[in-house]
């Protein structure tokens, strides 16, 4: 039977302790992880983690005939709440290279945000930046964080990614570029994305 073992630095350490008599203990395999573990090896030492800085303009279009952000749920008290507490909005917002809505679209921010602050406006953001242009086409960056939209800079964690962003970690900084507070409630937000990946 083929037995796969995980060769890591810690197993070398274990060997070291095994051969220093004081710590001797018999090593027996009492579980069956080798039956479903396909491989386990040191993460490549030759690939270097890099940090990429992207800037996107995120267009939250709630008005007009083709909104990209739609309210899908609210609590009975959302309309009377000063913070819209309980509102849930699903988004497929274009990500463009410039603040102008007609500038080149290079991705979409798909996901949702929920108004999760009782006393102060604070959104829970759950969004995937799905890139659609150039070498990053098809790769995604996943963001989950706290977005107090009236603060000048809101920092939110990058919790993962796919494709070229596999193993991603990092953060984004969101700054409101424009917000039509009187009528349409459409917003443009500048996202600076600092993502570590391989």
Ligand X SMILES: *[C@@H]1O[C@H](CO)[C@@H](O)[C@H](O)[C@H]1NC(C)=O
Residue numbers at the binding site for ligand X (CB under 6 A): 63, 74, 76, 79, 180, 183-184
Q: How far is the CB of 58 from ligand X (least distance, A)?
A: 17
Q: How far is the CB of 186 from ligand X (least distance, A)?
A: 7
Q: How far is the CB of 170 from ligand X (least distance, A)?
A: 32
User: Can you list the pairs that 62-71 forms with residues at least 24 positions away whose Cβ atoms lie under 8 Å?
Assistant: 62/89, 62/184, 62/185, 62/186, 63/180, 63/183, 63/184, 63/185, 63/186, 64/184, 68/92, 68/93, 68/94, 69/93
| Among the listed residues 153, 105, 114, the one whose alpha carbon sits nearest the alpha carbon of residue 133 | 105
Q: How far is the CB of 148 from ligand X (least distance, A)?
A: 22
Closer CB to ligand X, 166 or 185, in the complex: 185
Q: In this structure, how many other beta carbons lie within 10 angstroms of the beta carbon of residue 12? A: 9
Closer CB to ligand X, 41 or 79, in the complex: 79
Closer CB to ligand X, 98 or 138, in the complex: 98
CA distance 173 to 59: 15
């Amino acid at each position: 039977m083929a037995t796969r073992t995980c060769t890591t630095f810690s197993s070398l350490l274990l060997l070291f302790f095994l051969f220093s008599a004081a710590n001797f203990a018999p090593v027996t395999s009492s579980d069956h992880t080798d039956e479903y573990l396909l491989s386990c090896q040191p993460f490549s030492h030759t690939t270097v983690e890099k940090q990429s800085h992207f800037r996107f303009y995120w267009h939250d279009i709630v008005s007009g005939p083709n909104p990209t952000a739609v309210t899908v749920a609210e609590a009975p008290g959302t309309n009377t709440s000063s913070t819209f507490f309980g509102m849930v909005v699903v988004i497929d917002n274009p990500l463009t290279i410039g603040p102008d809505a007609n500038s080149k679209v290079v991705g979409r921010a798909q996901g949702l945000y929920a108004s999760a602050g009782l006393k102060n406006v604070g959104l829970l953001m759950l969004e995937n930046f799905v890139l659609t242009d150039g070498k990053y086409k098809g790769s995604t960056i996943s963001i989950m964080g706290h977005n107090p939209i009236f603060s000048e800079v809101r920092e939110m964690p990058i919790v993962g990614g796919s494709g070229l962003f596999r193993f991603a970690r990092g953060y984004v900084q969101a700054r409101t570029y424009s917000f039509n507070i009187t009528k349409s409630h459409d917003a443009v937000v500048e996202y600076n994305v600092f993502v570590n990946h391989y």
